[in-house]
Structure 1
């Protein structure tokens, strides 16, 4: 069934605007998608696709093409098995230690540092790259751990009805904070 729909889409060539292959038990993204430069909507929901194929990048706006909608909910695109992290002590560089101290003192409105920072534009430039830890709320310069938290989308968003959770990127400053995270926060690791 999916093959017939793809053949029909290919016959349309550059005039094919929509390809819908939801709930067709498709196990991989069709590589022929790159031959549809006019494609605007691709619906691959509720299939068995384990990864995004490289051909999909040729359809994105980054390549100057016009894919506007891409639906892939209900596919096993993410490995959902927890992996234990290796416990390690945090050893920061001198720049990281000093940056954390200064950024947190500036956040606390330390008048001496607030006055002194005006005279050092290079330091201001470095500190402007700092982030706030999602767990403890303190500032840090170097990303210790990138995590993801899944939350339900807002009711007024225009999204697929099947989308139950949206991933949000979360940065954490240390292993100590990572151990204090809520159970809905996951570390991102390459395995």
Structure 2
């Protein structure tokens, strides 16, 4: 059935705008999609596709396709297996990180001395303006200990697929201690 739909789409050539292969039990992403320059919507939801094919995995191919909508939910595209991250027991912050955290904490407490003094040091203002907030403790920091991803419900005003319940949000943790006390939906990002 999926093969017939693809053949029909390919015969349409440049005029093919939408391909819907929703729930067709496909195990591979069709590599012939690069031959459809007019394609705007591609729906491959709820199949058995484990990886993106080389023909459309590169950004160049997606730019050539000029896709406006791409649906791939319900495919095993991501490895959902947790791994144990190796870490050093003696994580030591730099002097600049310690000082930055102290200054940001004091500014949050409205310390009048530091609030006045910070006006004379534009390089310090510039550095602390790059602060991030820890996803666990909420404290500000400059150098992240670990980049993480947190899955959150999408905003009500987003235009998304109805069966998309969570979206990934990039977050950071400030220390190993915070990472070990994280919530269940916060995951560290590691290269494997």
TM-score normalised per structure 1: 0.89
Deviations 1:7-39 (A, max 9, x none): 221222221110111111222222222222211
**Residues 164-183 of structure 1 correspond to what in structure 2 (within 5 A)?**
164-183=165-184
**Residues 115-134 of structure 1 correspond to what in structure 2 (within 5 A)?**
115-134=116-135
State the alpha-carbon separation in 2 of the partners of residues 149 and 72 from structure 1. 19
State the alpha-carbon separation in 2 of the partners of residues 112 and 95 from structure 1. 20
Matched pairs, number: 189
What's 1:138 paired with?
139
Distance 1:116 1:53, change over 3 A: farther
TM-score normalised per structure 2: 0.88
What's 1:7 paired with?
7
State the alpha-carbon separation in 2 of the partners of residues 28 and 130 from structure 1. 43
State the alpha-carbon separation in 1 of the partners of residues 96 and 50 from structure 2. 41
Gaps of 5+ in 1: none
Gaps of 5+ in 2: none
Moved over 4 A (4+): none
State the alpha-carbon separation in 1 of the partners of residues 81 and 64 from structure 2. 36
Which region of structure 1 is more displaced relative to structure 2, 157-166 or 10-19? 157-166
State the shift of 1:179 in Å.
Answer: 0.8
State the alpha-carbon separation in 2 of the partners of residues 103 and 111 from structure 1. 13
State the shift of 1:52 in Å.
Answer: 2.7
State the alpha-carbon separation in 1 of the partners of residues 188 and 171 from structure 2. 9
Q: CA RMSD in A?
A: 1.9
**Residues 73-152 of structure 1 correspond to what in structure 2 (within 5 A)?**
73-88=73-88, 89-152=90-153
State the alpha-carbon separation in 2 of the partners of residues 94 and 30 from structure 1. 53
SS in 1 for 2:8: helix
Which region of structure 1 is more displaced relative to structure 2, 160-169 or 126-135? 160-169
Question: Does structure 2 retain, via aligned residues, the 8 Å contact 1:25–1:48?
Answer: yes
What's 1:46 paired with?
46
Tell me, yes or no, if structure 1 residue 71 matches structure 2 residue 78.
no
SS in 2 for 1:92: coil
State the shift of 1:64 in Å.
Answer: 6.8
State the alpha-carbon separation in 2 of the partners of residues 103 and 53 from structure 1. 46
SS in 2 for 1:12: helix
State the alpha-carbon separation in 2 of the partners of residues 84 and 47 from structure 1. 29
